[in-house]
Chain A
Amino acid sequence: MLNSLIKNRLSGLLLLTVIVFILPAFFSNPFHYDMATQIAIFATTVVGLNLLVGFAGQISLGHAGFFGLGAYFSAVMTGTYGWSPVPTLLVGAALVGLLAYVVGRPILKLKGYYLSMATLAMGFIIAITINNEGWLTGGPDGMPVPSLSLFGWELSTFSVYSFLGMEISGSLAWYWLMGVLLILGVWLAQNLIDSPIGRALRSVHGSEVAASVVGVDTAKFKNLVFVISAVYASLMGSFYAHFQGFITPDSAGFMESIIFVTMVVLGGMGSTLGVILGAVILTLLPQLLADFHDYEMMMFGLILMLTMIFMPKGLLPTLSRWLGEKMHKQAEDKA
């Protein structure tokens, strides 16, 4: 049953919605909500990245650059220049989308490792600039970010709100906001995948030459999905900045880019629920490993390596295939 749930797109979305709404029943303190909010932010980012990596088959090793740009645009514009947060994050996303459009055209002509190299270089240039322009960004020490607010209503993890007569903590409110945005992000991504655009993208993944022979404008579609995934990252970067209340250049750095791609590949390229699972695991893993202190880095590397060696297709696709085979066998045994 789980298998068919994962396979069927609509019920996948339903499953996600149910999980998002049930989960708070298991939370006992604000820390749990904060972790879940963080996971939702990263998950939405990689749902966007998965469109590029999993469906169009284009590797980006610099996606944290877009995430960081969104975060810093919100931080600087709301903090230093007093813009209102919500319009700011929209303007930020539009600018980052424009940047991705301009950079994407020439970069996406590159193939394989050359594309990884170019996206990696782009991410590095963004991170280095944020690091060096301390007058604007606070440099390596980072900068504080004001709370998210709309029409004078402020959303802070430290406040308590009343809603329909119920008391809601700021952490819970943030969780609902990002949970709903995650569901929305998944819904949009799945609609895109099922549209003619999605079909074109998958044909690019299969064989770019064949796709162009049958009349798919491969350059256009690759660039489009690059822009869309950059906008996802920028928006989530902005929310992340407001949620954390503080931002450092690390969130635009190479390691963060690697973590994003790893979430996609570990969870299962091309599987929307899979990459969310990837985000859950890679956000929780450092928390779980923190108890091992000095051994943390070694164990993280080991787990990463072993999972990818033994499940090269990613966790969710491997698990669902395994489940499928098992049930098939059971059915055969009965017959």
Chain B
Amino acid sequence: MFSEFLQYLFTGITIGATYALIALGFTLIYNASHVINFAQGEFLMVGGMATVSLMGMGFPMPVAIIAAILLAAVLGVALQRLAIAPAKQADPVTLIIITIGASIFIRGIAQLVWGRAYHSMPNFSGSEPVTIGGAVVSTQSFWVLGVGAVLVVALVLFFTRTMTGKAILATSMNKGAARLVGIKTQSVLLLAFLLSAILGSIAGIIVAPITFTAYDIGIMLGLKGFVAASLGGLGSGMGAIVGGLLLGVVEAMTAGYISSDYKDAVAFGMIILVLFFMPRGLMGARVVERV
């Protein structure tokens, strides 16, 4: 009974950590530019698919992973430069459609290059799962949690200890004022997309051995990240992490105790319910609309 619960909890935290990383990617871009990037999930797809295909060509795993992250980073920069920057005066709904267009475009290319098949990736270390309190946990889960934690600590240090990080924070708080004190807000936007792409591709790579990967996994993962980010409150880093973990655990518990067919419906139901009572998410800032 308890081991069952533990099993679902581990599954939930593992997938939740991935959601948290996607949500952090959303948060970075949202804070810097107030754009919701619906192509966020494609960074995960590119990370996972590029790693798998490079390993298939005979490259060792670490080389494949680094190359895949670089590819996603280039993609992130290209997305900002070629699609978002030229449309800076557009309505939010227009920007949503531009990023959706970008995600369909990236998916279309991925399908051309890598085909439509589902691919599996070997665990980073040891295929033998570990048993904890009766629950069977894949070693890859520890990689997901470990890498996730390292990334979060690195982000916190980056935003609190470096001038570049503080420049991003300043831009997100007040773009005009940031520009007045000499921050190049255009490069801040670029940096936000770059970081977000790197974060996304790493998440895509570490979760690929657990979930499989294919050209079309980006849509659902991206949407889950959006749910997680809204759940925690758009723009809040802590909110993204809490939202991601909560979403993962609720999904796993629903799949385990109620019905796996309805796990996504419960996740979406939860976000509606939370927004009913907390219209800016669990940890979103209170904002007064100025007229």
Contact = CB atoms under 8 A, between A and B. Distances in A.
A113 B96 CA distance: 10
A301 B112 contact: no
Given A262-B97, A295-B112, A312 B265 contact: no
B100 A304 contact: yes
A326 B277 CA distance: 52
A176 B283 CA distance: 53
Nearest to B109: A298
Nearest to A60: B93
Given A109-B279, A110-B275, A304-B97, A312 B87 contact: yes
Interface stretch (B43-51, B121-129, B180-188, B223-231): B223-231
Contact of A305 (B89, B102, B112): B102
Given A308-B90, A309-B87, A114 B102 contact: no
A250 interface: no
A297 B111 contact: yes
Contacts of A269: 91, 93
Contact of A132 (B100, B103, B261, B276): B261
Contacts, number: 142
A91 interface: no
B206 interface: no
B95 to A, nearest CB: 8
A35 B104 CA distance: 24
Contacts of A61: 96
Interface of A is mostly: helix
A305 B92 contact: no
A308 B104 contact: no
Given A124-B264, A210-B291, A302-B105, A308 B94 contact: yes
A225 interface: no
A136 to B, nearest CB: 14
Given A110-B279, A132-B261, A309 B98 contact: yes
Nearest to A296: B108
Contacts of B103: 301
B104 A297 contact: yes
Nearest to A297: B108
A309 B86 contact: yes
A276 B289 CA distance: 34
B271 interface: yes
A36 interface: no
B280 interface: yes
Nearest to B261: A132
A184 interface: no
A301 B100 CA distance: 8
A59 interface: yes
Given A118-B275, A297-B107, A312 B91 contact: yes
A300 B104 contact: yes
Contacts of A309: 83, 86-87, 98
Instruction: Give chain B's interface residue range (CB within 8 Å of chain A).
Output: 35 or more
A51 interface: no
Contact of B223 (A106, A120, A303): A120
A312 B90 contact: yes
Contact of A59 (B96, B111, B265): B96
B90 to A, nearest CB: 4
B104 A124 contact: no
A58 to B, nearest CB: 10
Nearest to B216: A297
B36 to A, nearest CB: 5
B272 interface: yes
Contacts of B97: 258, 261-262, 265-266, 304, 308
A111 B34 CA distance: 13
A3 interface: no
B87 A298 contact: no
B230 A305 contact: no
A254 interface: yes
A106 B274 CA distance: 11
B234 A114 contact: yes
Contacts of B36: 113, 116
Contacts of A116: 36, 96
A209 B83 CA distance: 32
Given A109-B279, A207-B291, A118 B271 contact: yes
Contacts of B280: 114
A213 B289 CA distance: 13
A213 B291 CA distance: 11
13 contacts: A113-B36, A113-B92, A114-B234, A118-B271, A118-B275, A125-B268, A128-B261, A128-B262, A128-B265, A208-B289, A299-B108, A301-B103, A302-B101
Interface of B: 36, 83, 86-87, 89-94, 96-98, 100-109, 111-112, 219, 223, 226-227, 230, 234, 261-262, 264-265, 268-269, 271-272, 275-276, 279-281, 289, 291
Interface of A: 53, 59, 61, 106-107, 109-114, 116-118, 120-122, 124-125, 128-129, 131-132, 207-210, 213, 254, 258, 261-262, 265-266, 269, 294-306, 308-310, 312
Given A118-B275, A125-B265, 12 more contacts: A128-B264, A128-B268, A132-B265, A207-B291, A261-B93, A261-B96, A261-B97, A301-B102, A305-B102, A308-B94, A308-B101, A312-B94
Please list the 6 inter-chain residue pairs (A to B) with the smallest Cβ-Cβ separation, ordered nearest first. Answer: A298-B108, A301-B105, A301-B104, A304-B101, A297-B108, A305-B101
